[in-house]
A = this chain, B = another copy of it.
């Protein structure tokens, strides 16, 4: 199956990407000639992973009838020192908030995403070290 996006140059270092019927503005930092009108490209790789595994996990937990109040997914990426600087490591931290949340079921949902469902992870795992952590805030 094919999918595609278009990114149109908007002057200086900025681009406007069309993704389906949504738009994303990309721009560089002021220090390298940009105007910070939008996101840097590289962290979008972290966002792609967060969204992919996040949707898996909420969908699996819904099927398991596990309810939670809040979920924040933090993705930390480590960039190489050598050029071109690129991610050689990422860590996904799932922080759930809720009352008496079942850690075992949450762990199972995360593992299913990691091993079976998340297509972004399936690409990244060929190119870097990936790890994860689950934090549960009981309230």
Contact = CB atoms under 8 A, between A and B. Distances in A.
Interface of A: 1-9, 12-13, 15, 17, 19-22, 24-26, 28, 32-34, 36, 38-52, 54-55, 58-59, 62, 70-79, 81, 83-87, 116-124, 126-128
Nearest to A23: B39
A84 B4 contact: no
The complex is assembled from copies of this chain, and their number is 2
Given A7-B54, A7-B75, 4 more contacts: A4-B76, A13-B59, A19-B40, A45-B123
Contacts of A42: 3, 48, 52, 119-120
A75 to B, nearest CB: 6
